[in-house]
Amino acid sequence: MSLRNVFITSTFRNRFLHQIRSLSCWSCGNNLKMVSNLFCSNCNTLQKPNERDNFFKIMGVNETYDQDETELAKKYKELQKYLHPDKFANKNKTEQEISEKYSSLVNEAYKTLLEPLARGIYMLKLRGQEIPENSEVGDQAFLMEIMEKNEEVENAETDEEIMKLNKENKAKISDLQKLVSRAFFDGDMKRVKKLLIRMKYYTSIDQQIQAMIRRKGIFS
């Protein structure tokens, strides 16, 4: 056996052993058959979230930039149905704490994966990269467009005006999403960062518009 094979075999064995360890119930020691099981099949105790799982694993969705919002929301509701701390009011303290921790982890995972910008930044992070603070676009035409949009949003008065701007801005974000998806697919992180920096501007316009919609009580 070559040295390389020895290394691979021991790495594989360590990983395998780790999985076995994490597959026994923390409460009764029962061996869990499935990793995805939230509860021990023997004593029905809630299991701790696996610390090595990223947000995609936690939510049970594919690790890709393209996410179906409806599917994500479905998974979220399903998970919270089982994890909500209210369900553990009569259980022991440890299980209550696990449910609180697990439930807030699912909240964070859902919020992050649902938002196109947050999702992109998170995927960069998983690859050990980030958008540098104060990074600038350096494209004057783009910055002019953003400035004009900001003014338009500030000056919008009627519901129709606001909803028109909302639709336009959502379309901009949606177009960028497609480009980001493509860039991730190509493994081009430089392009991903460039696109996400642009998305930041549209996302901040979006937040402004959503605040206006709430303030004015507009129903779309």
Binding site for Zn ion (CB under 5 A): 25, 27-28, 30, 40, 42-43, 45
Comparing CB distances to Zn ion, the nearer of 30 and 150 is 30
Comparing CB distances to Zn ion, the nearer of 87 and 200 is 87
User: Exposed, middle or buried, 128 (CB in 10 Å: 0-12/13-18/19+)?
Assistant: exposed
Q: Minimum CB separation from Zn ion for residue 92, in Å?
A: 12
Comparing CB distances to Zn ion, the nearer of 25 and 121 is 25
How far is residue 70's CA from residue 84's CA, in Å, rounded to a whole number?
A: 20
Comparing CB distances to Zn ion, the nearer of 45 and 166 is 45
Q: How distant, in Å, are the alpha carbons of 14, 63, 72, 198, 200 from that of 1?
A: 18, 35, 46, 52, 52
The answer for residues whose C-beta is within 8 angstroms of residue 33's C-beta and 6 or more apart is: 23, 41
Q: Minimum CB separation from Zn ion for residue 39, in Å?
A: 8
Q: Minimum CB separation from Zn ion for residue 40, in Å?
A: 3
DSSP string, 99-132: HHHHHHHHHHHHHHHHSHHHHHHHHHHHTT--PP
User: Exposed, middle or buried, 22 (CB in 10 Å: 0-12/13-18/19+)?
Assistant: middle
Q: Minimum CB separation from Zn ion for residue 45, in Å?
A: 5
Comparing CB distances to Zn ion, the nearer of 97 and 161 is 97
Q: Minimum CB separation from Zn ion for residue 27, in Å?
A: 5
